[in-house]
A and B are shown apart, each in its own frame.
Chain A
């Protein structure tokens, strides 16, 4: 029993990975990426057709919620998992990205690829505006300020004319074709590949950060902010960086989301979604990229899969959260053991 309890898939995986040479690793990564890339066709292929979702088609489910949630959970993981800052208003950055796309494309005729850098930049700027005052205060106050920020963005979108108020903005154009891939209702798999590319880019970015100075600074801040600052880490700057990079990922997700669904309204950016993304991060295993991806995929996919029991699915979702947290409080795939130190209780 103890052996099962102490079994850590993350550590086991890391062990196997460390035993491989470079060519095997590259081959493995390519195989995994190709397999994931083929996912949109899984539902129409016999043996895996049980994956098919009722109501919304499986390929669309893969883009939203699954792909988008994975992307946002990865972004939030930088903030919550890597540097230990509790952000309860992450959806605000997603909303800012989505509204940039909606407004710039419908009013000024920009296409998605032009909006993407602008949307990311706007999300990052709002990250700075929120982070500069908010990151000076301690954990739980940070939680309520970010929660407030998320609500403020939604309420402003609800009450300002440029965002269309409660009706939102309709008629957002799809992204123009790129490398021969067309993006429209006929090809949801192309959107999935686009989101997959963004996810891979984000994973690569996080991995680079983790082994460099910012990653070590975040780790130090997460374990003990006071000690980190005594050791010469400029905590405010690095906390701000993790906040802003998380915001950038959220903004990018928002731009793509708006161009996919073509209609957005403030209802899509409620507090519940922030909580859901946070649940994805913790459920999968805070701080561990693979855990977060797995957790987000499951929590985004599960409610769609069981949509046929429309009334009870949210109840089941709540139960899953309770049971999972009681059985595996560190998430499905916890972070590496050596990174798991006793966090300071006053965090």
Chain B
């Protein structure tokens, strides 16, 4: 127990918590969007994230030819390298997420199978992807080249405003604003909301359910891909089971904010990131997960629909 860190490192912990939490909330979107339309836990999302981190590595090392030992880049070259890595990871994750839906969910949904059957087939996809990656990487952690030099904007009250931390904070906020506008204003966004209210009614209104569900997986994949890029840029390594802890944390974040609720995923991720940082600073990092789950249980006991409620449930009778 070391409570003094709360006062001495307060702002530093807040900044770290923000960065970690916002990465969580991007992955949480992959769970929450799918849950909104299908009422299913998209178990394979953690492996979508994992393959996203490998996609970033592949783009940086193989496609653009920067070996692990490469010197940090600068200026224009840095800009387009990171942009290509980001786009590559987002596209890879989006395609993968759509494929996951096709393989693990579509047939089962058409046959009206139970939710648990879909959960198991998604677990099957998850095991398959993870073990295939394990085989190809021979279980070894992979290091990403440090293309972005970790310079700092400066230090305020002990908080170090490093470029990668700032990126992990600013990028998700932009993505969330775009997504929020998209879901609330565009036609497809309207269709997604309609399906999450009632699949039957949406079908009667002429909405192509299969297409909407595919698009939902695609959007979830895009945000998960962005998270994978940020994660790889900040932590500079990945391993075949990196998705496991990320998946549990992101799912917890989604539940914390109220699953099915996009804004909830944002705040849930933030809350979880903060809690993890403070809990590991005070109690030691090994108790991090325990604290998070205890807080989660307490919140669910007093606010059974998550902190911000389920957008879907509120409108359902």
Q: What are the residues of chain A within 8 A of B297 when measuring CB–CB?
A: 133-134, 145, 148
Chain B residue nearest in CB terms to A138:
B304
Q: What are the residues of chain B within 8 A of A152 when measuring CB–CB?
A: 289-290, 293-294
Chain B residue nearest in CB terms to A314:
B131
Chain B residue nearest in CB terms to A270:
B244
Chain B residue nearest in CB terms to A143:
B41
B114 & A330 in contact (Cβ 8 Å cutoff): yes
Stretch at the interface among A6-14, A171-179, A192-200, A275-283: A275-283
Task: Give B63 Cβ to nearest chain A Cβ, in Å.
Answer: 26
A227 within 8 A of B: no
Stretch at the interface among A16-24, A113-121, A252-260, A321-329: A321-329
B143 within 8 A of A: no
Is the contact region of chain A dominated by helix, strand, or loop, or is it mixed? Answer: helix
B252 within 8 A of A: yes
B287 within 8 A of A: yes
Q: What are the residues of chain B within 8 A of A282 when measuring CB–CB?
A: 116-117, 119-120
Q: What are the residues of chain A within 8 A of B121 when measuring CB–CB?
A: 321-322, 325-326
8 Å CB contact of A347 from B115, B123, B289? B115
B108 & A275 in contact (Cβ 8 Å cutoff): no
Given the interface pairs A147-B248, A148-B296, A152-B293, the reply to whether A133 lies near B301 with Cβ below 8 Å is yes
8 Å CB contact of A136 from B39, B127, B128, B301? B301
Given the interface pairs A314-B127, A317-B127, the reply to whether A144 lies near B120 with Cβ below 8 Å is no
B296 & A330 in contact (Cβ 8 Å cutoff): no
List the 4 closest pairs (A to B, CB-CB), nearest first. A321-B124, A329-B113, A148-B293, A318-B128
Residues of A within 8 A of B (CB): 80, 86, 133-134, 136-138, 140-141, 143-145, 147-149, 151-152, 155-156, 158-159, 271, 275, 278-279, 282-283, 286, 311-312, 314-315, 317-322, 325-326, 329-331, 343, 345-347
- In the assembled complex, 17 residue pairs joining A and B whose CB atoms fall closer than 8 Å, in A order, are A133-B301, A137-B304, A145-B293, A145-B300, A152-B294, A279-B120, A286-B114, A286-B116, A312-B131, A315-B128, A315-B132, A315-B135, A321-B120, A325-B113, A326-B108, A330-B114, A345-B39
